[in-house]
Amino acid sequence: MRRENLVVVITGANRGIGLALVQEYKARDAFVVGICRSSSPTLDALADRVVADIDVSEAASVARLADAIDDLEVDLLINNAGVLYGETLGNIDYATVLKQLEVNAMGPLRVTEQLLPYLNDGAKIALITSRMGSIADNGSGAYYGYRMSKAALNAAGKSLARDLVSRKIAVGILHPGFVQTDMVNHAGDISASVAACRLAERIDGLTLENTGSFWHSNGELLPW
């Protein structure tokens, strides 16, 4: 159904940066769909629609998304859900490496592919990646699975950007900053709401001219 206000779909919407993005887009009067594994009271109170029980790493789970939004025409899809585990050389847990590839790289690709029929021509897609996925910027090593998964997500983002030009869909590959969420034990240097506000500014500036670029939420262009 065509709506007057922007229709925004956000994964990992129950907490952290995803929840702050729900708040940001509600403040902009968007119609917000929050996708999550389990909802939270704040998400329930804010979102126009909550789609729970969706694990982005499971094909059958993501397939259920279609029924949950098939009455909507989506203007913005934000693939935000992600996980971070730390592996150290000599003691690498390949199960966590694989999990990060499944959630952080394959998850956003799967969700995007599933929702493509419901995206407007001219819609936007944001992939919340990390500068830890930058090979050029890796000055400290370790974090094998996280770095590999975010580099893979960046590669997928570039292909999506190329493939979706024909539908006038722009793709932003966005690092949120070092953000005070559970993922980093709240050790970040900006709050989730500041990160969400900056990410929304980058998404505002996303066009078919700069599609497929890798941005820090502060506006800096990041190296691959």
Q: Which residues bind ligand NAP (CB under 6 A)?
A: 12, 14-18, 36-38, 55-57, 80-84, 103, 128, 130, 175-176, 178-179, 181-184, 188
State the DSSP H helix or E strand holding residue 20, giving kind and residue range, or none if neither: helix 16-27
The residue with tokens 């397939």 is: 63
Strands 214-216, 7-11: pairing is unpaired
Q: Phi and psi (nearest 5°) for 23?
A: -60, -45
In angstroms, what is the minimal distance from the CB of 2 to ligand NAP? Answer: 28
Which residue, 120 or 220, is less far from ligand NAP as judged by CB?
Answer: 220
Name the minimum Å distance from CB 24 to ligand NAP. 13
Q: How far is the CB of 76 from ligand NAP (least distance, A)?
A: 16
Residue 120 or 191 having the CB closest to ligand NAP: 191
58/73 with CB nearer ligand NAP: 58
Torsional class of 19: left (φ above 0), alpha (ψ -120 to 50), beta (otherwise): alpha
Minimum Å gap between C-beta 122 and ligand NAP is 25
What distances in angstroms separate CA 28 from CA 4, 200, 202, 207, one per listed residue? 13, 10, 15, 20
If the CB atoms of residues 4 and 182 are measured against ligand NAP, the closer one turns out to be: 182
In this structure, what is the dihedral angle of CA atoms 104, 209, 197, 131, given to the nearest 10 degrees?
40
CB of 19 to ligand NAP, least distance (A): 7
Which of 83, 115 has the CB closer to ligand NAP? 83
